[in-house]
Amino acid sequence: MSWQPEIDELHHRRQLARRMGGEDKVKKHKDAGKLTVRERIEAIADDGSFHEVGSLTGFADYDRAGALKAYMASNMVMGRARIDGRPVVLVGDDFTIRGGANDGAVSEKLAHAERMSHDLLLPMIRLVDGTGGGGSVKNIETKGHTLLPVMRDWQLVAENLTRVPVVGLALGSVAGKGAARVAASHYSVMVKETAQLFNAGPPVVARVSGPITKNELGGSHIHTRNGVVDDEVSTEQEAFERVRRFLSYLPRSVHELPARVEPTDTPTRRDDALLEIIPRDPRKVYKVRRILDSVFDQDSFFEIGRHWGKGIVTGLARLDGWPVAVLASDPYHYGGVWDRPTTDKFTRFVDLAELFHLPVVNFVDVPGFQIGLDAEVSGVMRSGVRALSAIYQTTVPWCTMIVRKAYGVAAAGHQHQGRYALRYAWPSANWGSLPIEGGLEAAYKGEIAASEDPEAKLREIEQRLRGLSSPVRAAEAFVIEEIIDPRDTRAILCDFANLAAPLRQPGMTTLRYRP
């Protein structure tokens, strides 16, 4: 009367599934320096927390008596797990079975995983290695006809971007839909040398433009510089660590608020180096990351997208334990001008802050939008307008620190002007519709030309205007609310974080996230 034989059969089938593509293919996979899909799940999830869904899914062959002759597991492993104690949905491609291609998977599994994340409001983690639900030309022979491309699960993919944190990891060569699944995320990572990402792989491209290697076509040195992928790492383990850290700043879904951690740093801590970090010579640069490391909770700044959109630094950090989103101009990139990649990066990050209810801290040193022929050809004004629109769609608390330049339309977007936001300036700050040196000769053309010594007259006018451009003069007219000692920045920001915390409102926003 016992059901033990059936239980034994289930156990046997699960053991077959754990063999993945077989000993030879698993060895080849690991010899390439990659973990198997099940090793990846064990590495990223809390010990023993993975609960597989669809563990028996696969392709079976039976004899006439109905006995199992052969079995190939689905090459998509998915289920629920915990990361640092928080529930998530994990989906991993098994490259050892048909290279992760569609004909080695059961297509319903991918949609099921996205639905699980969507309806249970759980973060989605995609471990992509292969086409990840994409196609294979073998489908033509298998099915006897060609398939019209559709992505029935993509509505859920798009909706999840407005509901839960989504992470994409490129852990091998990912193409087509697999590449799209990496890019359709709030945070993405590639493993150097091991991972590549492309619309179509080298064999397809070679037919058009000649032989090319995987790394030449889609290595991390390409996609972490053009913004398709946020960050690159050296090992899979490093990728998993970055995912854990990224998730630690965010809520489980938009219906919750980012959690505070126990503060370990003193809000009133001061750093005398900040008094000298901005050079008096406006042509000289400084290291903005040194400022960020100083003013935020110790070791809490987590940079995102370091290698693209270099006019700004973006990341997550904590102030007195509270998570915040960080924007900071980087003068090392053409003085901090906003070129098209920079504006795209700005927009995407502001959207992330709005979506997950993160207060924004913005360090401003913006000389304006990029100028010149390359700028006009790139369409920087269109992407710049999108960035400004993103600011004016925010509802989260916002604090601006103007540390040096704030010029032109780009600087006008330093905060939402239609609602209250905190704003401070350092003594090194200066602002205007355009820099003095950029408009002086045009504005005073006649006076300079009429003088006996045009160069001396130019210097005289510049000196006079610079005296009037002191932030103190602006403070007298209440153009700026307060000029502060840079060493007080941390204390002010910690106060902002505590003021902002009770103002945050959980729930869906009208924002449709732009990945």
pLDDT in tens, 155-165: 899 999 999 99
Greater confidence (511 vs 205) lies with 205
34: closest CA among 48, 53, 21? 21
pLDDT level of residue 470 (50, 70, 90 thresholds): confident
What is the per-residue pLDDT for 137? Answer: 63
HEC secondary structure over 86-144: EEEEEEEECCCCHHHCHHHCCHHHHHHHHHHHHHHCCCEEEEECCCCCCCCCHHHHHHC
Angstrom distance (rounded) from CA 489 to CA 294: 9
Measured on CA atoms in the order 498, 124, 151, 129, is the torsion positive or negative?
positive
Angle (nearest 5°) at CA 150 between 148 and 154: 175
Read off the pLDDT of residues 495-504 as tens digits, 9 standing for 90 and up: 999 999 999 9
- Complete DSSP assignment for 15-72: HHHHTTT-HHHHHHHHHTT---HHHHHHHHSPTT--EESSTT-EEEEE-TTS-EEEEE
pLDDT level of residue 460 (50, 70, 90 thresholds): confident
- Coil, strand or helix: which one is 217? helix
What is the per-residue pLDDT for 283? Answer: 85
Q: Whose structure tokens read 């969507």?
A: 118
Q: Any idea what DSSP says for residue 506?
A: -
Residue 56 has pLDDT above 90, yes or no: no
What is the per-residue pLDDT for 16? Answer: 86
Least confident of 31-40, 328-337, 505-514: 505-514
Greater confidence (176 vs 439) lies with 176
Angstrom distance (rounded) from CA 474 to CA 481: 9
Q: How far does Cα 348 stand from its chain's mean position? A: 8
Q: Please state the rounded mean pLDDT for residues 294-322.
A: 97
Least confident of 74-83, 92-101, 250-259, 385-394: 92-101
Residue 480 has pLDDT above 80, yes or no: yes
Angstrom distance (rounded) from CA 467 to CA 485: 20
- Coil, strand or helix: which one is 401? strand
HEC secondary structure over 303-354: EECCCCCCCEEEEEEEECCEEEEEEEECCCCHHHCECHHHHHHHHHHHHHHH
Least confident of 97-101, 191-195, 274-278, 341-345: 97-101
Angstrom distance (rounded) from CA 500 to CA 137: 54
- pTM (predicted TM-score): 0.90
Read off the pLDDT of residues 339-397 as tens digits, 9 standing for 90 and up: 999 999 999 999 999 999 999 999 999 998 888 999 999 999 999 999 999 999 999 99
Q: Whose structure tokens read 């009133």?
A: 268
Read off the pLDDT of residues 95-148 as tens digits, 9 standing for 90 and up: 888 776 655 556 788 899 999 999 999 999 999 998 654 555 666 776 677 766
Least confident of 145-149, 198-202, 283-287, 485-489: 145-149
Q: Whose structure tokens read 């704030």?
A: 406
Count the neighbouring beta carbons within 10 Å of the beta carbon of residue 377: 9
> 376: number of CA atoms within 13 Å, CB side?
3
Read off the pLDDT of residues 329-340 as tens digits, 9 standing for 90 and up: 999 998 999 999
Residue 421 has pLDDT above 90, yes or no: yes
Q: Any idea what DSSP says for residue 488?
A: G
Count the neighbouring beta carbons within 10 Å of the beta carbon of residue 38: 17
What is the per-residue pLDDT for 176? Answer: 87
pLDDT level of residue 57 (50, 70, 90 thresholds): confident
> 434: number of CA atoms within 13 Å, CB side?
10
Neighbouring-strand partners of residue 76: 93
pLDDT level of residue 291 (50, 70, 90 thresholds): very high
User: pLDDT averaged over the chain?
Assistant: 89
Backbone phi, then psi, for 460, in 5-degree steps?
Answer: -65, -45
pLDDT level of residue 510 (50, 70, 90 thresholds): confident
Least confident of 86-100, 114-128, 230-244, 496-510: 86-100
Q: Which domains does the chain have, with CATH numbers?
A: 34-56+74-249 (3.90.226.10), 272-429+480-501 (3.90.226.10), 434-469 (no CATH)
* Run of H or E including 166: strand 166-170
Phi-psi region of 408 (alpha: psi -120 to 50; beta: other; left: phi over 0): left
Angstrom distance (rounded) from CA 142 to CA 216: 32
Angstrom distance (rounded) from CA 454 to CA 447: 9
Q: How far does Cα 26 stand from its chain's mean position? A: 32
Residue 211 has pLDDT above 70, yes or no: yes
What is the per-residue pLDDT for 109? Answer: 87
Angstrom distance (rounded) from CA 251 to CA 255: 8
Angle (nearest 5°) at CA 355 between 352 and 356: 90
Residue 223 has pLDDT above 80, yes or no: yes
- For residue 489 the two structure tokens come to 């920045």
Angstrom distance (rounded) from CA 330 to CA 215: 29
What is the per-residue pLDDT for 103? Answer: 53
